[in-house]
């Protein structure tokens, strides 16, 4: 069997839209028959449950064993490999992509990743409100106020909501309290980072991590303004296709948070 594990995902960009654009170049023929999960099968450095193809451990782009911390998550990753048919499509394997990122990147630099998440707190999406039209203002409040309430009550982070184009600085104690709620466990941290970048909101991501809001509510909250524009100006099929790829990434991150305590 050719050793091509690391080649399949080695050039995949982290952004799912860009990944979709480059997908044609990344395709490889399926070279395996059997997909299975085995505890610690990736070797002495592999924690948890490894994914095997025809008895051989899958490798990340950095040549580490692709292994998940729980059996259920490993089975979900294995299911992506099993679902591939004649060609292996990395853009259709969001859990594998996220796992690669966590194993090769997040686990090695957790504080830097946490800092990237925290950088969103100073200008978080859900704190910036429109002034008009009234229906949009109401819709933003309906989706975003519960997240502000979560931040204040669950995180002890008194974020300030403001309207208009002028930036309003958030209280330092609010940012500090929310930052303290960022998980440090690598898999949860990687999932929160993914949701933060996909939604533009660290507070939405922390809400999903705390199970204060579910994936669907988080996704709807992240797209209030976009959905409003779609209603006004009509559908953009290319934009909707890109959005579907991002939703798959969001679903993968939510799955990690669900399975990894």
**Are 64 and 15 within one domain?**
yes
Q: Note the pLDDT of residue 261.
A: 84
For the segment 51-70, what is each residue's pLDDT rounded down to a tens digit?
A: 999 999 999 999 999 999 99
In a domain, 103, yes or no: no
Confidence of residue 4 (pLDDT cuts 50, 70, 90): very low
Whether residue 68 sits in one domain with residue 153: no
pLDDT at 127 over 90: yes
Strand-pairing partners, residue 68, are 49
Q: Evaluate if residue 18 carries a pLDDT over 80.
A: no
What is the residue range of 199's domain? 110-259
- Within-domain flag for 59: yes
Least Cα distance to 259 among 188, 200, 189 occurs for: 188
Q: Which of 13-17, 86-90, 229-233 has the lowest mean pLDDT?
A: 13-17
Instruction: Name the percent of the chain lying above pLDDT 90.
Output: 78
* Alpha carbons 58 and 61: distance in angstroms, whole number: 10
Same domain flag for 250 and 124: yes
**Distance between CA atoms of residues 250 and 119, nearest Å:** 20
* Alpha-helix runs per DSSP H in the chain: 5-9, 16-21, 23-26, 71-83, 94-104, 110-118, 134-154, 172-180, 186-199, 202-209, 215-222, 224-233, 237-259
- Give the other-Cβ count within 10 Å of 20's Cβ: 20
Rounded CA separation 208/236 (Å): 28
Question: What b/e string do you get for 172-182 counting C-beta neighbours within 10 Å, with b at 16 or more?
Answer: eebbebbbebb
pLDDT tens digits, residue range 139-172? Answer: 999 999 999 999 999 999 999 999 987 788 999 9
Assigned domain for 98 exists: no
Tell me: do 127 and 220 sit in the same domain: yes
Those residues with Cβ within 8 angstroms of residue 126's Cβ, 6 or more apart along the chain or in another chain? 143, 144, 147, 148, 161, 201, 203, 204, 221
- The enclosing domain of 83 has a CATH number of 3.30.2180.10
Domain tally for the chain?
A: 2
Phi and psi torsions of 120, nearest 5°: -75, -20
Residue 120 counted as domain residue: yes
- Structure-token pair, residue 50: 């490894």
Q: Based on the fold, state whether residues 203 and 120 are members of the same structural domain.
A: yes
Confidence of residue 11 (pLDDT cuts 50, 70, 90): low
State yes or no: pLDDT of 8 exceeds 80.
no
Q: Are residues 160 and 190 in the same domain?
A: yes
142 and 177 belong to one structural domain: yes
Q: Is residue 101 part of a domain?
A: no
For the segment 17-21, the average pLDDT, to the nearest whole number, is 45
Integer CA distances (angstroms), 62 to 51, 57, 156, in order? 16, 13, 39
Whether residue 77 sits in one domain with residue 24: yes
Average pLDDT over residues 204-218: 97
Does the residue 189 lie in any domain?
yes
∠ CA 159-168-126, nearest 5°, is 50
12 pLDDT tier (thresholds 50, 70, 90):
low
Residue 116 sits in the same domain as residue 215: yes
d(C-alpha 88, C-alpha 54), whole Å: 15
Q: What CATH number does the domain containing 180 carry?
A: 1.10.3580.10
Flag whether pLDDT at 26 surpasses 50.
yes
Q: Would you call 59 helix, strand, or coil by DSSP?
A: strand
Residues 162 and 221 in one domain: yes
pTM for the structure as a whole: 0.89
- Let me know whether 115 and 88 are in one domain: no
Q: What is the predicted pLDDT for the residue at 16?
A: 42
Q: How far apart are CA 36 and CA 243, in angstroms?
A: 31
Asked if residue 119 and residue 69 are part of one domain, the reply reads: no
User: How confident is the model at residue 84, as a pLDDT?
Assistant: 95
Summarize pLDDT for 233-248 with one digit per residue, the tens. 888 888 888 999 999 9
Give percent above pLDDT 70 in the chain. 87
């Amino acid at each position: 069997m050719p050793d091509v594990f690391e080649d399949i995902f080695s050039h995949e960009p982290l952004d799912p839209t860009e990944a979709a654009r480059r997908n044609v170049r990344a395709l490889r023929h399926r070279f395996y028959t059997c997909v299975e999960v085995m505890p610690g099968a990736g070797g002495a450095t592999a924690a948890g449950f490894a994914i095997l193809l025809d008895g051989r451990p899958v490798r990340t782009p950095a040549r580490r064993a692709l292994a998940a911390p729980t059996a259920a998550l490993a089975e979900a990753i294995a299911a992506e490999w099993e679902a591939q048919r004649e060609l292996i499509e990395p853009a259709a394997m969001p859990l594998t992509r996220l796992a690669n990122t966590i194993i090769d990147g997040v686990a090695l630099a957790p504080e830097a990743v946490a800092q990237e998440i925290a950088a969103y707190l100073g200008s978080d999406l859900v704190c910036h409100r429109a002034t008009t039209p009234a229906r949009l203002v109401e819709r933003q409040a309906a989706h975003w106020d519960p997240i502000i309430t979560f931040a204040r009550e669950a995180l002890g982070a008194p974020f300030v909501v403001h309207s208009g184009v002028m930036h309003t600085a958030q209280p330092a104690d609010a940012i500090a309290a929310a930052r303290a709620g960022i998980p440090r466990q690598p898999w949860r941290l990687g999932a929160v980072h993914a949701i933060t970048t996909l939604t533009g909101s660290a507070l939405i991501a922390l809400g999903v991590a705390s199970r204060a809001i579910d994936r669907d509510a988080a996704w709807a909250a992240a797209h209030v303004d976009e959905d409003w524009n779609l209603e006004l100006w009509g559908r953009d099929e290319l934009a909707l296709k890109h959005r579907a790829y991002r939703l798959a990434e969001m679903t993968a991150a939510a799955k990690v948070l669900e399975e990894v305590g």
